[in-house]
Amino acid sequence: MTVITTPKAAPRKPVAKDDSMVKQKEMMAAHYDRLTSVPQTGEKVCATFVPGNLNELIKCFDLLNNLPEVNAIQSGLRKQSGAYVLEAEKIGHSEDVCTYVKSDIGMMAKGNIGPNGKRLPDPDVLLLSYTGCFTFMKWFELLREQYKCETIMLHTPYMGDGKITKNMIEYMVKQLKEEVIPTLERISGVKFDIDRLREHLKKSAVAEDDLVAVLQSAKSKPSPIDAYFGGIYYIGPIFGAFRGTDDAIDYYRFLRAEVDERLAAGQGPVTPDGDMGKEKYRLVVEGPPNYTHFRQFWKMFYDEGAVVVASSYTKVGGVYDFGFRHDPDKPLETLAEYCLGVYTNRSLPMRIDMLANYIDEYAADGLLINSIKSCNSFSAGQLLIMREVEKRTGKPAAFIESDLVDPRYFSAANIKNRLESYFQMIEQKRAGARAAA
Amino acid sequence: MATSLNGSKAAGVVARAQALFDDLSFATARAWKAAEPGRKVVGYLPIYVPREIIHAAGMLPLGIVGGGDQLEVIHGDAYYQSYICRIPRSTVELGVSGRLDFVDGMLFPSICDVIRNLSGMWKMMFPNVYVRYFDVPQNYKDDIGGNYYVNELSELTEALGELRGKPISDDELRHSISVFNENRRLVRELYAFRAERPWQMPAAEVYLVLRAGLVLPVEEHSKMIRDYLAAAEQDERPRRDNCRVVLTGVFCEQPPLNLIKSLELSGCYVVDDDLLLVTRWLTADVAIEGSPLQNLALAFLHHSEATAAKYEPNLSEKGQHLVRAVRRTGAEGVIFACPSFCDPALLERPMLQHVLKDAGIPYIAFKYAENSGQMQPIREQAGTFADSIKLWSGA
């Protein structure tokens, strides 16, 4: 008799996390617990978007912030978004449109279960901070149709000419004063207190300073952080529910100290497989990541010694590295300025300038674009961005394609193949430069 | 007015409109520009720009709605991923192939992220052309969105004044408003006629006549509509046993002409649509007296078409424009034809479908691209829809 024995699988290697990542995850989990406890606590919920989110203002009305994109990301990371997207398509949503939207709608259709396994609450108000993305507008109309709750539109004009005009600021401040604030007062039952807003804005600026220091630490060689894959953890609290809070100040202070230590020790980033080995390639990345295969995607980089030193995605919830800070001295104007300045609200020439400058400032080897099927706000024009940045910097650029939370659009072999070719291209470029020297 | 060989008085007008449609070199607009030194042409994309301001500057507003199914896109595809709609790539093709080399300015209206980003691309690719992203308010209160919009209009007016080398006066604006008011009245008349007697005005003809307004000076276009209306009144055409439908979703990337023809051939009279909305975006006359920019702004805020690119602040009003269009025109169903990868149209579609379902209005949906060549599946779908309405509708 032949006995077939199946060898026991090797125990799964624990995922390495630095302390800040553990802390970040605890914060996010606590926020989800708070959200799903709403039936017990009676807190009111404001759904809003990451780019142009007005967390400081929302907090003035004791509202809890719930972000549909972050829910979609969580579904992606937990491998649930694929089923949600299919569910949304089954009920009539086109295969062509944004998968964040479809993941969100599919999640609702299947009970709206959050990452902690509990039902997410229906929002009391939808605050449509319509910034840098047309899909947001339709998304909120779709949510309004489901929840039948009040919706506030805050229209942020696009920086088509690369500047913020007086007209734009006045328009936004007027919307805040006459539409957003009175409606939030009515829904929350809390009177607006501008001094309370100033306090939150002050706290935002403190955390923003530390975030910028952390992201700019990547200018060092080796970079102590990965400003894309790691950066996504770093932006979580400030782009989400924590900007303007003491928790955010604590987190970013802690994170900065941790990064400073790594910097002093000449260490590279921490990856899920532990400390990254020798830094071989320094990249600037444009575009959001794929979330359904996030670790696999990251591994393709760190296995090759590639570290991302700057990324545009970590500016989608606010661009702070050119000096903007929330300013308590002009509380409403600063909110307007913040919304206007987020990355996807910047014109294409502005984005090109940013990316080309990052390549120089961060001494990167080149630009990699991860073009996302779902996101026309990012993706439309990226091929021109690639050529222009390449032309200006003389550094090679590469283009890969995937999707945010639709697993059908992540082709690992294809992406790996392109990345390997890209790293070879960088090597050749270096060899050419050495030969010419 | 000429009568064609087939006896149709409208045929002459339609032939002229067809020639304008077919001409991808924009010869008429080029000839207009060449006719007098100093003339300028300002292009615009869907969905709406205040053409009155361009006209008031003595310039020709030129509607650019992609390259259609006759333009071979060679360079344009190098600028876009496969999952982006076709209109920006064929528009880029028109640009890089030199077909728009006579255009002095380009306006990219606020319609979607793709057209928005194309404004920045155009700035990079054609640095000598005046390029503006034309933002419109999503807030419809006079003192909020209205004030913002008046200032935007004022910036545009100033910029076009600089482009021609002389500021645009209020009187020039008033004159242009009145010329466009007349044009819009004629377009409304055209649509009302077709809704009443669609067999007398095939959808493809109405489309061609409307489309001519994108390349002709407005005065000439108004004459063309008048001629067509008069001819359509005189022509006797056979009335088919078609059902009546509203066509929606076609407000940006244009369907191939054959698609429009196919719908009627398969048994659907198109009695209303959202094609080329710029020609009737403002649904009532713009006031002439007072501040012209203020008047244009008020018309935009309170008398403009509902479409996917606009935020609808009132949930109960969402999609009602479509129900009203069905009731007004006596339509029996709605056809959703959306360009592939069109975010506004496709995201809007489920909401509109829910509204129609609640109102008991039947609908079908399909996608197209401006260069779709195979019409058989669309004919079959539309034909089945027409049959189902005829056989099983509540009437």
Nearest CA to B110 among B84, B83, B149, B142?
B149
pLDDT at B205: 97
Q: Please give the Cα distance from B115 to B98 (Å, whole number).
A: 20
Q: Cβ B138–A130 below 8 Å, yes or no?
A: yes
Q: Please give the Cα distance from B332 to B354 (Å, whole number).
A: 16
- Using CB atoms within 10 A of its CB, is residue B93 exposed (0-12), middle (13-18) or buried (19+)? buried
Judge contact between B71 and B93, C-beta under 8 A. yes
**Both tokens assigned to A117:** 């396994």
pLDDT at B7: 58
* CB within 8 Å of A284: residues ≥ 6 apart: A308, A309, A310, A311, A355, A358, A359, A362, A364, A366, A367, A368
**Residue A351 phi, psi dihedral angles, 5° rounding:** -65, -40
Query: Amino acid identity, residue B395?
Result: A
A376–B contact, CB cutoff 8 A: yes
Please tell me which of the candidates A92, A348, A350 has its beta carbon nearest to residue B121.
A348
Q: Helix H segments across B51-112?
A: 51-56, 87-96
pLDDT at B391: 87
pLDDT per residue as tens digits for the range A318-337: 999 999 999 999 999 999 99
The residues facing A315 across adjacent strands are: none
**Residue B334 phi, psi dihedral angles, 5° rounding:** -125, 135
Task: Give the H or E element holding residue A176.
Answer: none
Task: Give the H or E element holding residue A9.
Answer: none
What residue ranges do the domains of chain A occupy?
37-436
pLDDT at B5: 45
Q: Cβ A96–B141 below 8 Å, yes or no?
A: no
pLDDT at B2: 47
Quick check: helix, strand or coil at residue B274?
A: coil
Apex CA B13: angle with CA B12 and CA B15, to 5°? Answer: 65
pLDDT at B395: 46
Q: Please give the Cα distance from B345 to B362 (Å, whole number).
A: 18
| Below-50 pLDDT ranges, chain B | 1-5, 395
Q: Please give the Cα distance from A54 to A331 (Å, whole number).
A: 11
Q: Please give the Cα distance from B315 to B303 (Å, whole number).
A: 18
A160–B contact, CB cutoff 8 A: yes
Residue among B136, B148, B316, B366 with most chain A CBs within 10 A, to mutate: B148
pLDDT at A286 over 80: yes
Q: Please give the Cα distance from B287 to B52 (Å, whole number).
A: 13
pLDDT per residue as tens digits for the range A45-102: 999 999 999 999 999 999 999 999 999 999 999 999 999 999 999 999 999 999 999 9
First and final CA of chain A: distance in angstroms? 70
Compute CA A380 distance to the chain's CA centroid, rounded to the nearest angstrom.
Answer: 18
Q: Cβ A92–B344 below 8 Å, yes or no?
A: no
pLDDT per residue as tens digits for the range A207-238: 999 999 999 999 999 999 999 999 999 999 99
pLDDT at A2: 54
A179–B contact, CB cutoff 8 A: yes
pLDDT at A12: 65
Nearest CA to A24 among A291, A299, A307, A247?
A247
Q: Please give the Cα distance from A39 to A114 (Å, whole number).
A: 14
Query: Amino acid identity, residue A310?
Result: A
ipTM (interface pTM): 0.95
* C-alpha distance from residue B231 to each of A114, B185, B228, B237 (Å): 63, 18, 5, 11
Please tell me which of the candidates B110, B151, B312 has its beta carbon nearest to residue A167.
B151
**Both tokens assigned to B270:** 């198109």
pLDDT at A131 over 80: yes
Please tell me which of the candidates B114, B147, B341 has its beta carbon nearest to residue A96.
B341
Residue among A99, A100, A141 with most chain B CBs within 10 A, to mutate: A141
Q: Please give the Cα distance from A415 to B327 (Å, whole number).
A: 52
Tell me the longest C-alpha to C-alpha distance in chain B: 63
Strand-pair category, A281-286 with B243-248: unpaired
Give how far A177 is from chain B: nearest CA, Å.
10
B132–A contact, CB cutoff 8 A: yes
* CB within 8 Å of A437: residues ≥ 6 apart: none
A208: phi > 0 → left, psi -120 to 50 → alpha, else beta; which? alpha
pLDDT per residue as tens digits for the range A158-215: 999 999 999 999 999 999 999 999 999 999 999 999 999 999 999 999 999 999 999 9
Q: Cβ A178–B133 below 8 Å, yes or no?
A: no
Please tell me which of the candidates B120, B125, B138 has its beta carbon nearest to residue A347.
B120
Percent of chain A exceeding pLDDT 90 equals: 93
Q: Please give the Cα distance from B68 to B24 (Å, whole number).
A: 9
pLDDT per residue as tens digits for the range B298-314: 999 999 999 999 999 99
